[in-house]
Amino acid sequence: MRFSPPLLLLLLLHFALFSGNAVAVAGGGDLRGDAAALLDLKAALGCRPGALRSWSSANAGAVCAWTGVRCAGGRVVAVDISNMNVSSGNAPVKVTVPPSLDALETLSLAGNGIAGAVTATSLPSLRHVNVSGNALTGGLDGWDFASLPSLEVFDAYDNNLTSPLPPGAASPPRLRHLDLGGNYFTGEIPAAYGDMPAVEYLSLNGNNLQGRIPPELGNLTTLKELYLGYYNVFDGGIPPELGRLRRLTILDVSNCGLTGGIPPELGGLSSLDTLFLHTNQLSGAIPPELGNLTSLSALDLSNNALSGEVPRSLSSLTKLRLFNLFLNRLHGPVPEFLADLPRLETVQLFMNNLTGRIPAALGASAAPLRLVDLSSNRLTGVIPNTLCNSGELHTAILMNNFLFGPIPRSLGTCASLTRVRLGQNYLNGSIPAGLLYLPRLNLLELQNNLLSGDVPANPNPSTTSPSQLAQLNLSNNLLSGRLPATVGNLTALQTLLASNNRLSGEVPAELGSLRRLVKLDLSGNALSGPVPAAVGACGELTYLDLSRNNLSGAIPEAIAAVRVLNYLNLSRNALEGAIPAAVGAMGSLTAADFSYNRLSGRLPDTGQLGYLNATAFAGNPGLCGAVLRRPCDGSADIAGGEVAPAPPAGGTRRGGAGGEIKLVLALGLLACSVVFAAAAVLRARSFRSGDGDGGGAWRFTAFHKVDFGIGEVIECMKEGNVVGRGGAGTVYAGRTRSGGAIAVKRLHRTRTTAGAGGNAGAREEDRGFRAEVRTLGSIRHRNIVRLLAFCESRDANALVYEYMGGGSLGEVLHDGKRGAFLGWEARYRIAAEAARGLCYLHHDCNPMIVHRDVKSNNILLAGDGGEARVADFGLAKFLRGGGGVGGGGNATSECMSAVAGSYGYIAPEYAYTLRVDEKSDVYSYGVVLLELITGRRPVGDFGEGVDIVQWAKRVTGGRREAVQGIADRRLGVAGAGAGDEAPADEVAHLFFVSMLCVQENSVERPTMREVVQMLSEFPRHAASSSSAQTSPSASSSTSPPGGEESSPDGKGPPPPAASCGYKFVPDLLA
């Protein structure tokens, strides 16, 4: 039978349409199945209301248009809902990707804060999985990697995963990228991880792994990037087998406890671009074979125990940008080849034993040199005048050497400079013109040299570019002439130190333009004329020292306008007239010295001067008053013929006004305690008479891996579980159903609503409180108590912390909890660990977190002999009227806000500023150090109005050699007890650090970063160094080019492994 062409065409068209409809029907069925599976996935994720709104059964026919969904060939092939904040955060979830999505190739749930577990099995097409940046818990046992034969990428970075690493993760034959970093995996790296034939990227950093690095990793011949450091603590050294990884471009095994030498076999890594081995315990010489790494651009071997000279073979590394060898035991010269490396940007060799000269041509090549730090060596010779030839140099740190000769003139025109530290050398000649006025300069230190000539004036006074200079130190030189008026143009200046020079002329009135100035020290010069009244315009000034000059005239009353001034020294001048009554009435002064002038008249009988020692006024025969035991003619200064005894503290008022202030504070605290107790009783009654949960429904938010819910938290909050009460609330200890121990801190709050309208301001502060809690919940540091969860209801908030079984330092140290006695090793370790925790809060959190209540009772111990962790930080500012805790305000919260801190730990400046900052925490930490040294409480053992700081200073005179007079006799410090446990030099060093921390003037206290450095770098005795050694987990990342911390690929080490207790920072003002 033959068909006509038109009929044949009609039949073919009909067949095509029928086939097309059949395909569409079949495909539609598969898509509907995929849509149903995605709806199951959405339900399992427990999405917050409004999340993934397009994912709905009503819209199932348009599944390919759903948010984050991509289709191909009539099937769903990709689901990418990264960073969409889909999680409700209410409770952990358990999600299994439906096997019916058998065409799925890509699954990305990253950055959603999903808590619980996500698993997948039997997905033969799945190639790419990204679940990073969540709060997943448990292990990866639910993943059947063997049933994922197409898997190429598996990224679970930055979660809360635990248990040993799953060996099966290495089974997919096509796996190229495996990232399990930033978790809590334990145990050893499975040897099976050395059998991944296609892997190019392997990251296991930032976990709690132990054991040896398996040599089988040397079989990964396709590997390009390997990250194993940060928080892991491996045994042994670097396997020589890693030298077989010829395609490797990045090798980072930093900060993971490695010992032994650097294997010469690493010189075979011909493709290597980045080699980071810093912050380990590697020893021996740097192998010359590293000179074969001709592709290397970043080399960091810092913070080890490497010795010998820098091998000349490294001159072959012509692509090198970063060269870090600081904090080792290297000797010999600074290698000349550094001047010939054409791409060098950063060179840091500080704190070694290097000798000889700085290469004369350093900076002369086309290299974009940006950072040079050769400080704290034994270098001699002159500073090369080519350092800034590139025009990009921003940091030059050469302090603590034996350099001589002039400062190169070229530095005075180096507009890129931001930090220059040349102190503690033998530099001579004059200061280059323009150096002080460079547009980007923030810090200039030239102290303790032999510099002479004038302090240069601004060579371009008409410039409109504002100065950035904040810190200028010219002390202890031979500078002469006048202090130029153009110094007043340095409007960003906070510290100006020019003491012990030969400056003459008048103090320029233009200093009054320095409105941000905090410390001014021009003592020990030959300045003449009056004390400028313009100083009164420096409203932030806390420290003013003009002593040992030739100043004359009257003391200007305008000084009293500086409301925060706490140190004033005008001694040994030729000042005349009376001390102004307004100056005497300054409530901020804690120390003053007017001695050896020509002052006369009656001492003001109000304010703070009456609390100073008579020596503060010696050498002024014209002065009279009770403090001097010298009555004024016809006066009634001395009632009843008796002279009020002067306080014993020379030149300060800590023993007088300080005691009075502390008495007021004590009475305030007593009143607070009464109010707190009454409030606690009322709250307890309300709690018992309510519905058992403190009033209304509770909302539960977990920040870490947890095996409990709100019901178990509420069960803990019973009167029988109370372990402590405070102004902010009540602390309960309890156990979860799985046997885990938790501590619940229930914070009181009053209702912020009145009817339906509520209080908008209180709600806004509630949001601020929640945001702060979320920030605190994200903190991961082994010396900070972990905030596990946050619970809130209408009437109360509750913070759930990990339970610290060892109790508080205060309990163990002072109450002998469980009969424990803290030996010296434990005390030094606790001091270092607490410092690292505070350092992290101050320097590695953005924004900075100020603790506000540092004390021994807020340093908790993790079981017998466990680590010390800082507790109760960051929320003190909310524990007052209003906000997330106080609601509309009440007597309890208002009383709480009256005193920030605990009696005996409060920094002296708080008495007149009522403000706290990170230096307030440093003071309180210094008090804790004194507790560790003496075994005494901060108050109560030293007489009325005397605290541990005053007592320690009085007994020792602040001299470290006298620490035996105050040391805890149970420690057996030589000469202070019967035992022989605590080395005297270590106790003296800890005392020295404590005295720095409790300086009267906050600007003179160190930062917590500097404290960590001082405790970590002190050479301890062999018997003690093992137990008090800084743990590898508390050591540091490095500084890549440009001085910014980063990782090679933007992932690298987890964010918590930052600087505090981790990086030994040579630039102490960083």
Provide the terminal-to-terminal Cα distance of the chain, rounded to the nearest Å: 95
Q: Is the pLDDT of residue 362 over 50?
A: yes
Alpha helix positions (H), 505-656: 581-584
Segment 741-756, tens digit of pLDDT: 889 988 876 444 333 3
Question: Domain-by-domain residue ranges, the chain?
Answer: 5-74, 654-804+878-898
Please compute the mean of the pLDDT values over residues 656-663 and round it to a whole number: 48
Phi, psi dihedral angles at 823 (to 5 degrees): -75, 175
Q: Is the pLDDT of residue 993 over 80?
A: yes
Q: What is the pLDDT of residue 727?
A: 66
Q: What is the pLDDT of residue 676?
A: 53
What does the block give as tokens for 1021? 């005795």
Q: CATH fold of 654-804+878-898, please?
A: Phosphorylase Kinase; domain 1 (3.30.200)
Q: What is the pLDDT of residue 1038?
A: 30
Please compute the mean of the pLDDT values over residues 613-619 and round it to a whole number: 92
Q: Which of 853, 872, 947, 1067 is catalytic?
A: 853
Q: Are 939 and 903 in contact (CB under 8 A)?
A: yes
Among the listed residues 923, 950, 946, 948, the one whose alpha carbon sits nearest the alpha carbon of residue 936: 948
Q: What is the pLDDT of residue 609?
A: 81
Is-catalytic flag, 853?
yes
Average model confidence (pLDDT) across the chain: 82
* Listed range (23-27, 67-71, 784-788, 867-871) with the worst mean pLDDT: 23-27
Q: What is the pLDDT of residue 817?
A: 61
Q: What is the pLDDT of residue 4?
A: 54
In our burial notation (b when 16+ CB lie closer than 10 A, e otherwise), range 133-172 reads: bbbbbbbbeebebebbeebbbbbbbbbbbbeebbebbbbb
Please compute the mean of the pLDDT values over residues 566-582 and round it to a whole number: 95
- pLDDT-derived band at 162 (thresholds 50, 70, 90) equals very high
Q: Is the pLDDT of residue 27 over 70?
A: no
Q: What is the pLDDT of residue 636?
A: 39
Residues ≥6 apart with Cβ < 8 Å to 116: 91, 92, 93, 94, 95, 135, 136, 137
Comparing 607 with 931, the larger pLDDT belongs to 931
* Listed range (280-294, 743-757, 769-783) with the worst mean pLDDT: 743-757
Task: Identify the H or E element spanning 710.
Answer: helix 710-716
Within 10 A of 240 (CB to CB), how many other CB atoms are there?
A: 14
Residue listed under structure tokens 């007593």: 670
Report how far residue 333's alpha carbon sits from residue 378's, in angstroms, rounded to the nearest whole number: 10
Q: Are 474 and 455 in contact (CB under 8 A)?
A: yes
DSSP 47: B
Report how far residue 495's alpha carbon sits from residue 975's, in angstroms, rounded to the nearest whole number: 42
Q: What is the pLDDT of residue 1040?
A: 31
- pLDDT-derived band at 877 (thresholds 50, 70, 90) equals low
Q: What is the pLDDT of residue 762?
A: 60
Work out the percent of the chain whose per-residue pLDDT is above 90.
54
Q: Is the pLDDT of residue 464 over 70?
A: no
Comparing 316 with 889, the larger pLDDT belongs to 316
Q: What is the pLDDT of residue 635?
A: 47
Comparing 1064 with 234, the larger pLDDT belongs to 234
E strands present in 699-811: 699-702, 722-725, 729-735, 741-748, 787-792, 796-802
Alpha helix positions (H), 815-873: 824-839
Q: What is the pLDDT of residue 521?
A: 97
Work out the percent of the chain whose per-residue pLDDT is above 70.
80
Segment 689-736, tens digit of pLDDT: 334 444 568 888 888 878 888 888 888 898 888 988 776 678 899 888
Q: What is the pLDDT of residue 684?
A: 41
Q: What is the pLDDT of residue 7?
A: 46
Report how far residue 377's alpha carbon sits from residue 425's, in angstroms, rounded to the nearest whole number: 11
Report how far residue 448's alpha carbon sits from residue 726's, in angstroms, rounded to the nearest whole number: 50
Please compute the mean of the pLDDT values over residues 429-437 and round it to a whole number: 93
In order, the DSSP letters of 647-673 are PSSTTB-TTTHHHHHHHHHHHHHHHHH
Q: What is the pLDDT of residue 865?
A: 61
